[in-house]
Amino acid sequence: MAVIVTTSPGFGKHGRVPDLIAERGWELVRCDDAAKPDGGLSEHLRRADVLVVGLIGADGATVAQGPGLKGVVKHGVGVDNIDIPACTAAGLPVCNTPGANADAVAELAVGLMFSMARAIPQGHASVVSGGWDRRVGTQLGGKTLGIVGLGNIGKRLAKLAQGLGMTVVASDKYPDTAFAETHGIEMLELDAVLARSDYVSLHVFGGADNAALIDAAALQKMKPTAGLINLARGEVVDLDAVAAALAADRLGAVAIDAYVSEPPDTAHPVFSHPRAVFTPHSGADTAEAVENVGLMVIESIDALLAGDPPPRCLNADDLAAR
């Protein structure tokens, strides 16, 4: 019986995925105990055939505890919490699930724009508390959306925004110029995107390269009425700078779904600001997306257990060169 160890709370729970795991006869071991620094990985990795990574990551010391590991699979897209060189050195393929949750994240970005434009959370709070605080909002049609990171999610979001009558501009370190030209998206440097946009939506990877990408200097370049959306990683945005910009009316609103630590410390002043909207890292949390991600993970596990080259292997070339 293959042993699949996972740090993802959602893997194996949705759609067809539980039945497929049962059909294969795998033992699924969950290591998502918040009371333990590694979620409990150290107690089970020695038996693991495959590690499925969620928010608790995998570094060299982690994979060294799994002598029988055949590979590491991310239950999602971002692999900034997986030490890929360490996995390569250990001979372990690393796979992820690009595109599986792109529609879900893009739709939440649109929802957060509507929430900011029409003060939906504030209106709800007013009515249920017995008030009647009617606010004049703004429409999304005719506004400019700046997408930072025009990958799978950014591309889906661009199409949705254009369907609402928005103009889309974008920045990307490795731009897909063919897609941009086909869909009438102007590719710009980051500073120009910030200056032009009524809403800025972040869809970049985490890690050192993008740490504090949106800091005080970046916020100064944005319109004082603009809305900022972070559906990327918590470290991409400097929360201190965001709180200061909101307090000084140099930022119209902010919507955040990803945090440096999760759950976040809500004592931070940004969490009490009336023009801030928060969701619990739920961008990918739709039944359809979670099932799609799970199915792609199973496909990778099947290949790893069979000794075949797994699909969407991020270090295939480096492994081949060993």
Instruction: Tell me the per-residue pLDDT of 113-129, one tens digit each, with 9 for 90 and over.
Output: 999 999 999 999 999 99
Indicate the pLDDT class of residue 228, thresholds 50, 70 and 90: very high
Report the run of H or E that residue 302 belongs to, with start and end: helix 287-306
Determine the average pLDDT of the residues in 253-281.
96
281 counts as catalytic: yes
| Cα three-residue angle 76-80-83, rounded to 5 degrees | 110
Give tens-digit pLDDT for 161-174. Answer: 999 999 999 999 99
Joined together, the tokens standing for residue 277 give: 């909207």
Percentage of residues in the chain having pLDDT higher than 70:
100
**What is the chain's length?**
322
- The dihedral region occupied by 33, where left means phi > 0, alpha psi between -120 and 50, and beta the remainder, is beta
Q: Is the N-terminal amide bond of 269 cis, ω within 30° of 0?
A: no
**Res. 35: pLDDT tops 80:** no
Q: So what's the pLDDT on residue 206? A: 86
Does the pLDDT value for residue 105 go beyond 90?
yes
Catalytic residue among 14, 156, 281, 312: 281
Kindly give, in sequence order, each residue whose CB lies less than 8 Å from that of residue 112, ignoring residues fewer than 6 positions away: 229, 231, 255, 257, 277, 279
262 is known as an active-site residue: yes
CA distance linking residue 241 with residue 224, whole number of Å? 14
- pLDDT of 50 reads 98
Q: Which of 44, 156, 233, 312 is catalytic?
A: 233
Mean pLDDT throughout 262-270? 96
Mean pLDDT of the chain: 96
pLDDT at 32 over 90: no
Q: Residue 253 contacts by C-beta under 8 Å, 6 or more apart in sequence? A: 116, 227, 228, 246, 275, 276, 277
- Is 44 in the active site? no
Structural domains for the chain: 3-99+286-320 (3.40.50.720), 102-278 (3.40.50.720)
- The predicted model gives 27-43 an average pLDDT of 86
**What was the pLDDT predicted at 207?**
85
Of the candidates 262, 288, 291, 322, the residue annotated as catalytic is: 262
